Amino acid sequence: MPPYQTLRLLIAIITGNEYAHFRIRRKLLQQLFMSLTGTRFGRRMQKQIENNTAWQETQASIAQIMRQHVPKNARVLIVDKWDPTLFHLSRHQGWNFPDRVLMPEGYPANDEKAIDHLEQLRKRGANYLVFPNAAFWWLDYYQAFRRHLDAKHACIWKDERCVIYEIL
């Protein structure tokens, strides 16, 4: 890795700039992929480094919806597999859902744990929960969690791109 990339990566980590960290890691993976093209490791990496223009356009559209319907100072939860892009594009702060620190195993084992996790983050100050369309499966898989959301919280936006709940 060239020294300037190492320095940029360290600065992103130290300053807590998750989006910059994410982008630099992605560039490094692309460079590594070039060295591994044609190997089984290269084939495994390919999906991680491909640019998906349609998804990038969807993310930009969701971010615009968030800027229009979620107050600027609100704390947001986004179901996004720990990708900080929507936080960056929407200019909102908050946590990934599930939060990697509070739930290091990745996904809730059941509806009860999903509800409990939501309540933990609500107590920490989360005001809105965003499901990008790539995470709509959550609403089908965790049916009791969805019933909890629909019963206790207002759905302020719903279309084919995202669903947003106000979780005050």
- Tell me: do 45 and 71 sit in the same domain: no
Do 34 and 62 belong together in one domain? no
Instruction: Kindly report, residue by residue over 16-58, the tens digit of the pLDDT.
Output: 767 666 776 667 766 766 777 778 777 777 766 677 788 889 9
**What confidence tens digit (pLDDT) does each residue in 49-69 have?**
677 788 889 999 999 999 999
**The two structure tokens encoding residue 93:** 């702060």
The reply to whether 153 and 107 lie within a common domain is yes
Q: What's the number of domains the chain is made of?
A: 2
Same domain, 160 and 98: yes
Residues 33 and 101 in one domain: no
What percentage of the chain exceeds 90 in pLDDT? 59
Clarify whether residues 59 and 40 are in a common domain.
no
Res 27: pLDDT: 73
Give the structural domain span for 139. Answer: 53-166
pLDDT of residue 29: 66
- Rounded Cα distance between 67 and 44, Å, is 35
Same domain? 153 vs 80 = yes
CA 165 → CA 4, 15, 35, 67, distances in Å? 41, 30, 44, 14
